[in-house]
Structure 1
Amino acid sequence: MNPRALPSHYLELIRDRFIFLASSPARLWKVKSGRGWPTARPGVLFALLTAAFLGLATFEANGVQKVEIAAALSITGDSSSFGGGSLEGIKAAIDEANRSGFGPRIELKVYDDRSTADGAREVAAKIAASDAVLTLGPAISVASLAAGPIYAKAGLASITTTATSDLITDNPTTFRILFKNSDQGEMLATFLAYVLGLKRAAVMVMDDGYGRTIEKGFRDTAERLGIEANYYILKPGEPMDEAARKAVAESAERPVVLAMLDTEGARLLTILRRLGVKGPFLGGDAFGIENFNSHFADTPEEKQHPGYFCENLYGITPMLLDSANADILAFAERFKQQVGHDPGWLAVAGFDAARLAIETIRKTAAADPGATTSALRTSALHNLLALDKQGSPLPGLLGPFVFDSGRGRQTALRIGRFNHGRFESAPLQIVPVLHPHEAEVESGAVFELRPGNYVRLQQVIYSGLYLNELMWIDQAHFTFGADFYVWLRFAKGAGAEAADPTEIKFPDLSTGHFDREHPVEQREMADGTSYRLWRVQGEFRSPFDLHHYPFDRQSLTLRFYNARAAADRIVYALDESAPDTMDSRSVTPSGVSAEAFRGLSQWKFVSAHQWRQNFVAKSSLGDPLRIGLQNYRELSGHAVTIELQRRSLTTLMKTLLPLWLMTCILYASLYFPPVLVQPKIGVAMTAVLTGMVLLNLVNSQLGAIGYTVAVEYAFYVYFALGLLQIVSVLLSEHLRGLGRTAAADRSDRWTRVLFIGAVVGLIAAAVIYE
Structure 2
Amino acid sequence: MINASEVRILPERSDTAATLTHQAIELGESDPVRARELLGAALAQDYDYEPAWRWLAELVTDDGERRFCLDRAYAIKVDSATARARRAVAAVPATPPAEVADLIDPSPPATATVVPGRGRTTRWVAVGAVVVVLLSVLGVWAASGDDRVEPVQVALVAGMTGDNAVAASHMERAVRMHLDTVNAEGGVDGRPVELLVYDDEDTVATAVGIARRIVRENKVMYVIGHAGSDTSLAAAPIYREAGIPAVTPSAGASKITDDSDWYFRSMFGNRTQSDFLSVYISRVLGAATAAVVHEEDEDGRSGRETFLESFGEFGRVTADLPIAMGPEARAASVRAAITELRTHDPREPILLAVKEKSGLELIEGLRSAGVTAPVVGVSALSSRAFHASLVDAERKRGLPGSLTGNLFMGTPLAHDSLSGPAQVWADSYERRYGERPQWQAATARQAVNVGLHAMRVGNLDFGEEHREQDRKRVRDTMASLKDKKNSFPALLGPLYFTASGSAQMAVSVVTSDGARFVSAPTQFTIHEPPTEDSLRADVAEGTVIAVKNRYLSRRQVVATGININEIRELDTAAGTYFVDFFVWLKYTGGHVAADVQFVNAVRPDLTLGEPLRDVTENGRTYRLYRVADRFKSALEFRDFPFDRQRLTVLMQNRTQTADQVSYVTDKEILDQDPEVYLRSGADATADINQVPNWVASSVRFYRQTVGSSDALGDGQATGTTAGIYYSQYAGEIVLKRDTVPFLIKNLLPLVLLISVTFLCLFFKPADDRAAVSMGVTAILSTAVLLNNVTSQLPSVSYIVALEWGYYSFILLAGICVLITMVRKRLAVTKRDDAEQALSRAARIGYPVYLLAVVACFAVIYA
The alignment's TM-score, normalised by the length of structure 2, stands at 0.63
Q: Report the Cα offset of residue 409 of structure 1.
A: 5.2
Establish whether residue 281 from structure 1 lines up as the match of residue 375 from structure 2. yes
| Partner of residue 231 from structure 2, selected from 123, 126, 143 | 143
Equivalences for 1:622-637 in 2 at 5 Å?
A: 622-624=713-715, 627-629=718-720, 633-637=724-728
- Which residue of 559, 583, 587 corresponds with 2:650? 559
CA distance in 2, matches of 1:492, 1:446: 13
What is the CA–CA distance in structure 2 between the aligned matches of 1:489 and 1:154, rounded to whole Å?
53
What aligned pairs does 1:492-503 form with structure 2 within 5 A after superposition?
492=589, 500-503=592-595
- For the structure 1 residues 353 and 482, does the alpha-carbon distance in structure 2 shift closer, same or farther, using more than 3 Å as the test? closer
Find 2:276's aligned residue among 187, 193, 210. 187
The amino acid across from 1:222 in the alignment is F
Moved more, 118-127 or 647-656: 647-656
Counterpart CA distance in 1 for 2:153 and 2:743 is 59
- The 5 Å alignment of 1:521-536 reads 521-524=613-616, 529-536=620-627
1:226/1:662 Cα in 2 relative to 1: closer, same or farther (>3 Å)? closer
Which position in structure 2 is the counterpart of 1:744?
A: none
Q: Structure 2 counterpart of 1:447, which letter?
A: V
Q: Residues of 1 paired with 2:804 and 2:178: CA distance?
A: 44
Q: 1:483 to 1:114 in 2, by over 3 A?
A: same
Map 1:25-424 onto structure 2 (within 5 A): 69-91=154-176, 99-102=186-189, 108-132=195-219, 135-148=223-236, 158-168=246-256, 172=260, 175-177=263-265, 178-226=267-315, 229-235=318-324, 236-238=330-332, 240-296=334-390, 298-299=392-393, 301=395, 308-323=402-417, 343-355=437-449, 357=451, 363=458, 366=461, 370=465, 379=472, 383=476, 395=488, 397=490, 399-404=495-500, 408=502, 410-424=504-518
Structure 2 unpaired stretches of 5+: 1-82, 92-148, 325-329, 756-779, 812-842
Question: Which string of whole-angstrom CA distances, capped at 9 and with x for unpartnered residues, describes residues 443-492 of structure 1?
Answer: 43642423552221122222111111234434465433222101112231
- Deviation at 1:153? 6.6
Amino acid corresponding to residue 445 of structure 2 in structure 1: F
CA contact (8 A) 1:566 1:633 kept: yes
Find the aligned partners of 1:153 and 1:456 in 2 and give their Cα distance.
40
Give the C-alpha shift of residue 164 in structure 1: 1.2
- CA drift of 1:135 comes to 4.0
1:205 is displaced (CA, Å) by 3.5
Q: Is this contact kept in 2: 1:205–1:233, CA < 8 A?
A: yes
CA distance in 1, matches of 2:691, 2:421: 37
Aligned mates of 1:289, 1:591 — CA distance in 2: 34
Q: Distance in 2 between matches of 1:388 and 1:696?
A: 50
CA, structure 1 residues 642+8, in 2 after alignment: closer, same or farther (shift >3 Å)?
Answer: same
Show CA shifts across 1:552-588 (max 9, x none): 55433222223433323322222234466462xx386
Distance 1:705 1:387, change over 3 A: closer
Contact kept? 2:561, 2:668, Cα under 8 Å: no
Larger deviation: 340-349 or 286-295? Answer: 340-349
CA displacement 1:190-232 (0-9 Å, x = unmatched): 1111223333433334444333332333333333213564444
Kept in 2, the 8 Å contact 1:323–1:460? The answer is: no
Q: CA deviation at 1:697?
A: 8.9
Question: Following the alignment from structure 1 to structure 2, what is the Cα–Cα distance between the partners of residues 385 and 544?
Answer: 36
Mapped to 2, the partners of 1:547 and 1:712 lie a distance apart of 10
Aligned AA for 1:165? A
The change in CA–CA distance for 1:644 and 1:349 in structure 2 (over 3 A counts) is closer
Matches within 5 A, 1:752-763: none
Equivalences, count? 697
In structure 2, relative to structure 1, the CA distance for the partners of 1:536 and 1:596 (3 Å cut) is farther
Relative distance call for 1:657 and 1:540 in structure 2 (3 A) is: same
Provide the C-alpha distance between the structure 1 equivalents of 2:431 and 2:722, rounded to a whole number of angstroms.
Answer: 29
**What SS does structure 1 have at the residue aligned with 2:376?**
strand
Question: Equivalences for 1:690-729 in 2 at 5 Å?
Answer: none
Of Structure 1 and Structure 2, the greater helix share is in: 2
User: Are the equivalent residues in 2 in contact too, given 1:561–1:636 (CA < 8 A)?
Assistant: yes
Contact 1:335–1:342 at 8 Å: present in 2 too? yes
Structure 1 residue 262, shift from structure 2 partner: 1.9
Contact 1:280–1:313 (CA under 8 A) maintained in structure 2: yes
Distance 1:659 1:91, change over 3 A: closer
* Distance in structure 1 (CA, Å) of the matches to 2:687 and 2:478: 59
- The Cα of 1:600 is off from its aligned counterpart by 4.6
Looking at structure 2, the residues matched to 127 and 324 of structure 1 have their Cα atoms a distance apart, in angstroms, of: 35
2:580 matched residue in structure 1 = 483
| Cα pair 1:512 1:538 within 8 Å, conserved | no
Matched with 1:25 is none
One-letter identity of the residue aligned with 2:582: Y
Counterparts of 1:623-662 in structure 2 under 5 Å? 623-624=714-715, 627-629=718-720, 633-647=724-738
Tell me how far apart the structure 2 counterparts of residues 331 and 657 of structure 1 sit (CA, whole Å): 40
Alignment pair present for 1:571 and 2:662: yes
- The residue matched to 1:509 in structure 2 has which SS? coil
In the alignment, what sits opposite 1:735?
none
Give 1:503's aligned amino acid.
D
CA distance in 1, matches of 2:612, 2:693: 33
Higher mean C-alpha deviation, range 83-92 or range 215-224: 83-92
* Alpha-carbon shift at residue 182 of structure 1 (Å): 4.0
Preserved contact between residue 202 and residue 251 of structure 1 (Cα < 8 Å): no
Q: Give the drift of 1:76.
A: 1.1
CA 1:433–1:330 in structure 2 vs 1: closer, same or farther (change >3 Å)? farther
- C-alpha distance in 2, partners of 1:155/1:512? 55
Distance in 2 (CA, whole Å) between partners of 1:473 and 1:517 is 24
- The alignment partner of 1:319 has SS state of coil
Q: Is the 8 A contact 2:188 2:455 kept in 1?
A: no
**Deviation string, structure 1 residues 301-355 (Cα, Å, up to 9, x no partner):** 3685666522332211233354356776687688779878765432333234445
Deviates more, 1:617-626 or 1:337-346: 337-346
Name the aligned partner's letter for residue 282 of structure 2.
A
Distance (whole Å) between structure 1 residues aligned to residue 689 and residue 463 of structure 2: 67
> AA paired with 1:131?
N
**Bigger shift: 292-301 or 184-193?**
292-301
- State the TM-score, normalizing by the size of structure 1: 0.70
For 2:570, which of 457, 473, 479 is the aligned residue?
Answer: 473
Matched-pair identity in %: 27
- How far apart, in 1, do the equivalents of 2:152 and 2:602 lie? 56
5+ residue gaps, structure 1: 12-63, 494-498, 665-688, 721-752
Q: Give the SS at the match of 2:592.
A: coil
Q: Decide which moves more: 99-108 or 71-80.
A: 99-108
Q: Kindly tell me: are residues 129 and 598 of structure 1, through their superposed partners in 2, closer, same or farther at Cα, counting changes over 3 Å? A: closer
CA contact (8 A) 1:504 1:563 kept: yes
Distance 1:253 1:209, change over 3 A: same
Deviates more, 1:334-343 or 1:141-150: 334-343
